[in-house]
Amino acid sequence: MNILLTGSAGFIGSHLTERLLAEGHHVIGVDNYLSGQPANTALFREHPRFRFIQADVSLGLPDPGVRLDFVLHFASPASPPHYQQHPVATLMVGAQGTQHALDLARAHGAAFLLASTSEVYGDPEVHPQPETYWGHVNPNGLRSCYDEAKRYAEALTMAYHRHYGVDTRIVRIFNTYGPRMRADDGRVVTNFIHQALAGQPLTVYGDGSQTRSFQYVSDLVRGIMALMDVPDPFPVNLGNPDEYTILQFAERIRDLIDPRLPIIHRPLPADDPRQRRPDITRARTLLGWSPQVSLQDGLARTVESFRAVGGQPERLVSARLDGH
Amino acid sequence: MNILLTGSAGFIGSHLTERLLAEGHHVIGVDNYLSGQPANTALFREHPRFRFIQADVSLGLPDPGVRLDFVLHFASPASPPHYQQHPVATLMVGAQGTQHALDLARAHGAAFLLASTSEVYGDPEVHPQPETYWGHVNPNGLRSCYDEAKRYAEALTMAYHRHYGVDTRIVRIFNTYGPRMRADDGRVVTNFIHQALAGQPLTVYGDGSQTRSFQYVSDLVRGIMALMDVPDPFPVNLGNPDEYTILQFAERIRDLIDPRLPIIHRPLPADDPRQRRPDITRARTLLGWSPQVSLQDGLARTVESFRAVGGQPERLVSARLDGH
């Protein structure tokens, strides 16, 4: 297939590109490098079936010159420090960016897949979260530039499906980690690994009792590939339901790297979700999908990849993780 | 002041124009007539301080040629039949439309006011709804093209306030009624009046136990004028907390027009909110505002205006009501 992928230079985009090329597809990557990394484009530059267009999908997409079969819209700042630094760009890539990608899919008769997020559930009052849960999001808070942009992107995608008949899919991505995360993305995984590798104390926000679930990036990519084969327009959660407190998580990473390091606490930011865990019943039944990589294995591979690049932020490439 | 008003040919826009002109302001009205009505523009065409630009704010705004003091963004389809017929245009006027209006305000150093809606509360689980309630909205439902567009518009407005320092206001408008509502807007008020004037049975969706609160349009306009004087960026509810069931409402209107008419029931549409009522504590304390027109008086004036135009839909002008 000919596949156009926005956000190709992001953390998830780079892993998705790798897998799509391995499956024999032609991939046209698009990124503006607002939060994506040129090093992630460089990984595939020599590949005969990869082509890259540097462009801001919020401003429009150039004609790709070939007939597209699929448009995957993964472009967006996705970590709180990035989207709070670029709130208007984050809102725009959810609205104008999603629309340009949908218009392209529609013009080509191609299928469309939106990378949405567990952030559409906000600070959930239902636990775990099934796709039918409507969420609990502050429309005016500091995180709203990301959360509301993604909710809008879902509504727009459904409008293109219902009104124009575009073959659309929506994946709600829960916290994901793995190699090529940006060390400066402000997420708990990267923060902990980076701090531990630098021999520094691990910083926990709040008392650390808030929980998160973490999926390894290869599990996510396998789920996205499965959803591309199933024409169902309603959102599908992809995440690992194994739940840990942030404090447990800090302890695991510390113990992998240096058990002597202290764990320190800082105040919890506003609107930080207390807990979030996917209900993956729908992904299991619709796609036959469930996570396969254990936290222990995934963390070991991630720490190893961080060690391999010397733990230097400037050599670690690209983040497009969901949540933090 | 020089004031640019998008949605000037809508129901609320037309009443707001009238009041702004009466206060001595210069008004530049903008409308694309998607749901607004040319007759509402014609009302002011001879006024020396009124100017009209036919334009789609979602595509951009022409330079108004004078320095603006205030931009009021009221453009949007707002009744369920209108926005469900134009879901993409509705989403766009919430995103691109709001952004063009915000960019204009920013360029002119003007203040900005967003017409938001009680629909951001969705099908609320808190009753009555204060502005601090985050809402309960289905991001994928048939109403999401309107609800999520307005939530996005609020998030974008706050981003322009926080990130660019624009002086912004957000009003959340609850159900409003009065003269110049479109007879075909599908709202309960217009439906009931129109049916009763035509001597037809009044149609209630569901058992009629769902509640609504209704404010008369002059109360709303007075609240908007008050908020224009108070530089507070957080949302303010404007609505009448007097709550009636839809069935009570049908009975009131029937009794005003023809007590012999029957009331019939039809199935409730999907995602129809069960109940909604504003908590107006904030408007009371911030603006010293509360509704003054009783339902009895407001309905009498509205029925009178419908009678005056002969109850003919084509002679009734423009709806921009919130909710239904």
pLDDT at A285: 98
Chain B residues near residue A152 by CB distance under 8 angstroms: 91, 94-95, 148-149, 151-152
The domain B177-213+241-277+292-315 is placed in CATH, from the list 3.30.70.360, 3.40.50.720, 2.60.120.1270, 3.90.25.10, at 3.90.25.10
Neighboring chain A residues of B149 at a CB cutoff of 8 Å: 152, 155
The count of other CB atoms within 10 Å of the CB of residue A109 is 11
Which of A134, A139, A160 has its CB closest to that of B154? A139
Q: What is the mean pLDDT of chain B?
A: 92
- Picking from A98, A131, A137, A156 by the largest number of B CB atoms within 10 A of its own CB, the best residue to mutate is A156
**DSSP three-state, residue A274:** coil
Cβ of residue B119 closer than 8 Å to a chain A Cβ: no
Which of A120, A140, A155 shows the shortest C-beta gap to B234?
A140
> Tell me, what's the pLDDT at A324?
33
pLDDT of residue A315: 37
Q: What is the DSSP string of B146-212?
A: HHHHHHHHHHHHHHHHHHH---EEEEEE--EE-TT--TTS--HHHHHHHHHHTTPPEEEETTS--EE
pLDDT at B310: 65
Mean pLDDT by 10 residues, chain B (324 residues): 98 98 98 96 97 98 94 95 94 98 98 97 92 95 95 98 98 95 83 93 92 93 98 98 91 94 89 79 98 95 87 38 32
Q: Where are the domains of chain B?
A: 2-175+216-238, 177-213+241-277+292-315
Per residue in B31-71, pLDDT tens? 999 999 999 999 999 999 999 999 999 999 988 999 999 99
Model confidence, pTM: 0.92
Give the Cα-Cα-Cα angle A210, A213, A219 (nearest 5 degrees): 165
Q: In this predicted structure, what is the pLDDT of residue B29?
A: 98
Residue range B2-175+216-238 in CATH 3.40.50.720: yes
Minimal CA–CA distance to B319: which of B126, B35, B93, B19?
A: B35
**CATH number for the domain formed by residue range(s) A178-213+243-274+293-315:** 3.90.25.10
Q: Give the pLDDT score at A81.
A: 87
Question: pLDDT digits over B283-300, tens only?
Answer: 999 999 999 999 999 999
Respond yes or no: is residue A205 known to be catalytic.
Answer: no
CATH topology of domain A2-175+214-238: Rossmann fold (3.40.50)
Disruptive mutation site among B138, B152, B158 for chain A (greatest number of A CBs within 10 Å): B152
Residue A91: its pLDDT value, please? Answer: 98
What is the per-residue pLDDT across A39-66, written as a single tens digit (0 to 9) for each? 999 999 999 999 999 999 999 998 899 9
List strand residue ranges (DSSP E) for chain A, in order: 2-6, 26-31, 50-54, 70-73, 111-117, 168-173, 176-177, 202-205, 211-213, 215-216, 236-238, 243-245, 263-266
Written as tens digits, the pLDDT of chain A (324 aa) is 999 999 999 999 999 999 999 999 999 999 999 999 999 999 999 999 999 999 999 999 988 999 999 999 999 999 888 999 999 999 999 999 999 999 999 999 999 999 999 999 998 999 899 999 999 999 999 899 999 999 999 999 999 999 999 999 999 999 999 999 987 877 888 889 999 999 999 999 899 998 888 999 999 999 999 999 999 999 999 999 998 899 999 999 999 999 999 999 999 877 666 677 999 999 999 999 999 999 999 999 999 998 887 654 433 333 333 333
pLDDT of residue B211: 83
Residue B203: per-residue pLDDT:
93
Separation of alpha carbons B259 and B264, rounded Å: 14
The pLDDT, as a whole number, for residue A271 is: 62
Q: What pLDDT is attached to residue B314?
A: 37
Q: What is the pLDDT of residue A89?
A: 97
